[in-house]
Structure 1
């Protein structure tokens, strides 16, 4: 049956790719030669192409009005880098089978590509009952004993239950409400179902933004998004990959079932390779298109190289950010096998509440104040710049303020004087500023560091990894190790020189290969080489937001009691005369056992102070937090940091 190229793509099930198309008719100029993204291709009538994949290239938007006919609304293009955040409006039309869902919704290896649905009436799966409204997460699709099944997960009574459902599973499945905010690019890549409208609500209709991207006058925030796809295809007996926009004015016919596909290049992306079953590995492949800006691009992954893809798996990485006062900061994914060594660096804490979160049972947290604080009552201590404290524990204390007794959350500390300690109480709501004092001069390997100290944690590379030719971490002034994540990887090696193998990321490597053989005799005992991967700001924020979606945002710091009137700081910074801490402090060392923090501390410590995103804030404030670093530290704080860090 003949259809337009746009209609064909909208009705196409991605899992049936590749498909062979024959050009039926269209509008052509000068022999039907088109220049498309640097590739020339002929689309004359009768021409045959093979479609390997497609992705959204641009977004056409129109104003959406509920309970109105929106067919005639004028469309306007939104660039994928359009600033601001969008909330996804839940699709109210049900899917009637699991197969319907998998045809319309992308299910991939990353957290962002694990869609969630609920069943209208509930499902009985024998040993597991799924009740109405319970959120079903779809993690992957796999061939199990000749039947395509969806690997799912549901949380019941705070326990995760994994199960499978066949594509033929019937019922009314509804999309779950999505509480996250997304950029337009994230929505385009992950959140637009095929053959369905995606309605979103723009959360920042500001005059400043409207002056850059003019929006219609009657725009109230709701938009209907229509994707324009870029189709990746190959021509007969050619190795070049061509890219065609889906709104090209041509008609096509699907002739896959009656055409020999062997005359076409068999092109697969890293995502395609990861979707293959584990028993299909290892396999040999030729690199057709290599990745851009990757250390392996000029070596094992350059076009024309023959590689062996040994297996797919999940691997751990440490997400880290460069410590610097200016921006932009660089972000890294560090393999746990990194062989360099680190020294600890001081952490900064903007409030007393952050001290409570960061304290450890294994080591006293020793800090110095860089901002003065005037206590509103006698029970709470005032703070001067340069005061040193040992953090003990938090508690609730009764204080007298203006003749009224109130219970206030406080942090019990020991103030370090020249010859003794003085017990003091600091209010948790205190907006002070503290820098950690480091007495530990040891050098740590990454695995030992992560085992002994809770993340986030500040370090500096003291000995670079000698197995890496260009260790990009060695040149950084300091690193904040933020959290351990799990990501999808492929293990590859050079078929001609199989002396070592490499881990390559699935979701961040733009590469296309042609399969050569599915039977390869290889030895899997090669040493595995890992690289420190530098990631973009956009990739960094996506990982921070979606790696642990089950975690709630960290609790807000306690608010100052309403009865306390803030007085202006009358304390003048004294001349710094830093006394040596008591001898016992210098001998403090961290035990080898891993510190298991409290649930509250675990959640809060997942996000560093410099880039926490409180999802309970208004969306516009979230956007500011996502894109703006902390204010530059003052000269006084830098002076204290240099004074207190012991190399």
Structure 2
């Protein structure tokens, strides 16, 4: 049988032995959904997995009838996506715990317990987590819980579509302006029913790459698993699979089976068949930065602290007095100019005109007359800068105006200095580019906002032959498959470590921010009325 793979004709000969290593969703067929059914006006459209947008998963109303069915059809794994939640309409009595009806049960992993397969589960009560196991033989009705997270289509395809079921999703954020090539209607913000189209991932005896076979290929096969030595086949591993290995197993030598895409060094050097050394796995810090511009789409970057360029400060903008309070620091006094007028409803508080300049002092309370009664509210104490003096004024925290920072600091900063000395978010522009790289992508950006520090998972990888440098490689944003070689690493000490400024897509930007600690973000703004 001859078929086409990535534009090349491939041949499956009679008698050829293939080892199936997985099933993967190749694309999605989407229909517009109304009342959990396909709209009678809808036609199916084809969506690639990289189709832009963020989506919420609608809980499946069809129950599962056993824990075994859940483990067979739902993805449960070590990553943050692999912990689905279910509830039972009936109480579940265990030896040391009773799971109440309607209580959210998180499925964490599947493993053998006392010679029997079971699921490690957890429930949260009064902010305390309680762990327990449910055997695969446990029967009953189990319903999906509502999921308030947002996902890309690729994440939904990999983790959130149960086998033999469709998935309803609701568009949460389109991220991109609509154009005529978009298969969905303009301004569409409803629900879609997604039907997966699968491909078979396989390895062949005399090939070192992974073969992708469409599931509708017209070819007859016979299962010979029980009578064939499958150890003679290569075992492909994703970077996530490698990262799950214990630290004791590193360093290791591997050969690339599917190389990453991209023209950026080192990815352009890592092609199929290339031998690499993976030295270790670890967590590393990056600064999440976005381009400063009024229109969209903005560019987003993950910048390593080892970046060798220098930055000068750029003015920050603040929409309310409350934002001024968050931004002020003990290190230097915050100097701002008003860009929008504000008339105070209270005579005790100051009315702002465009062009007024202030030095921000501190948050305090003040008594105001509100609807004939005295009320204590939070205010921001400032000094208004006049031509020859300063005037103490009070601004209401809820004041909706506009302020722009006045920068007096002309110093050039390293990235690590900014993270140490200032509170993020922080606005900058590159004043001296990083001369250690051929092309500094940040140098061409007119302005950047450093938003927050994040921690992410990396592997340290070098070329297998005569390595002169090793690279920090992101585990969750680089598609690359390898197979391990039974070779000794020539030197366990990695060569000089190189890092890159990683430009990420808007979807990846939302994913990175989604999992950051919520305590990093300020509390909600105060109400507009006292």
What TM-score bracket applies, with the shorter chain setting the length?
0.7 to 0.9
1:435 pairs with 2:435: no
1:348 pairs with 2:342: no
Q: What is the aligned partner in structure 2 of residue 330 from structure 1?
A: 299
1:293-342 deviation per Cα after TM superposition (whole angstroms, max 9, x unaligned): 1321233x233321112233332221111223444322111123334333
In structure 2, relative to structure 1, the CA distance for the partners of 1:325 and 1:495 (3 Å cut) is: same
Q: What is the aligned partner in structure 1 of residue 47 from structure 2?
A: 79
Give the secondary structure class of the aligned counterpart of 2:382: strand
Deviation at 1:407, TM superposition (A): 5.6
In structure 2, relative to structure 1, the CA distance for the partners of 1:230 and 1:213 (3 Å cut) is: same
2 CA distance for matches of 1:392 and 1:41? 72
1:122–1:131 contact (8 Å) kept in structure 2 = yes
1:233–1:243 contact (8 Å) kept in structure 2 = yes
1 CA distance for matches of 2:513 and 2:237? 29
1:295 pairs with 2:265: yes
Q: What is the aligned partner in structure 2 of residue 459 from structure 1?
A: 428
In structure 2, relative to structure 1, the CA distance for the partners of 1:462 and 1:398 (3 Å cut) is: same
Q: What is the aligned partner in structure 1 of residue 161 from structure 2?
A: 192
One of 354, 372, 377 as aligned partner of 2:341: 372
Q: What is the aligned partner in structure 2 of residue 176 from structure 1?
A: 145
Aligned residue pairs: how many? Answer: 520
TM-align CA RMSD: 4.2
Q: What is the aligned partner in structure 1 of residue 212 from structure 2?
A: 243
2 CA distance for matches of 1:95 and 1:485? 40
2 CA distance for matches of 1:85 and 1:453? 32
Alignment of 1:404-483 (within 5 A): 409-483=378-452
2 CA distance for matches of 1:474 and 1:74? 47
In structure 2, relative to structure 1, the CA distance for the partners of 1:537 and 1:394 (3 Å cut) is: same
2 CA distance for matches of 1:315 and 1:289? 25
1 CA distance for matches of 2:246 and 2:211? 28
One of 363, 383, 392 as aligned partner of 1:394: 363
1 CA distance for matches of 2:512 and 2:217? 35
1:149–1:164 contact (8 Å) kept in structure 2 = no
Deviation at 1:402, TM superposition (A): 7.8
One of 446, 449, 466 as aligned partner of 1:497: 466
1 CA distance for matches of 2:288 and 2:372? 50
TM-score where L is the length of structure 2: 0.81
1:187-213 deviation per Cα after TM superposition (whole angstroms, max 9, x unaligned): 2243212233423345799xx989964
Alignment of 1:521-540 (within 5 A): 522-540=491-509
Deviation at 1:227, TM superposition (A): 0.8
Give the secondary structure class of the aligned counterpart of 1:476: coil
Greater helix fraction, Structure 1 or Structure 2:
1
Deviation at 1:537, TM superposition (A): 1.6
1:115 pairs with 2:84: yes
Q: What is the aligned partner in structure 2 of residue 304 from structure 1?
A: 273
**Structure 1, unaligned runs of 5 or more:** 1-31, 562-647
2:92–2:99 contact (8 Å) kept in structure 1 = yes
1:232–1:241 contact (8 Å) kept in structure 2 = yes
Give the secondary structure class of the aligned counterpart of 1:432: strand
Give the secondary structure class of the aligned counterpart of 1:298: helix
Deviation at 1:535, TM superposition (A): 0.9
**Structure 2, unaligned runs of 5 or more:** none
Q: What is the aligned partner in structure 1 of residue 200 from structure 2?
A: 231
Alignment of 1:511-590 (within 5 A): 511-517=480-486, 519-520=488-489, 522-548=491-517, 554-560=523-529
Q: What is the aligned partner in structure 2 of residue 37 from structure 1?
A: 6
In structure 2, relative to structure 1, the CA distance for the partners of 1:149 and 1:101 (3 Å cut) is: same
In structure 2, relative to structure 1, the CA distance for the partners of 1:275 and 1:194 (3 Å cut) is: farther
Alignment of 1:256-267 (within 5 A): 256-261=225-230, 264-267=233-236
Q: What is the aligned partner in structure 2 of residue 19 from structure 1?
A: none
1:296–1:302 contact (8 Å) kept in structure 2 = no
1 CA distance for matches of 2:138 and 2:496? 47
Give the secondary structure class of the aligned counterpart of 2:401: coil
Greater strand fraction, Structure 1 or Structure 2:
2
TM-score where L is the length of structure 1: 0.68
Q: What is the aligned partner in structure 2 of residue 24 from structure 1?
A: none
2 CA distance for matches of 1:248 and 1:164? 44
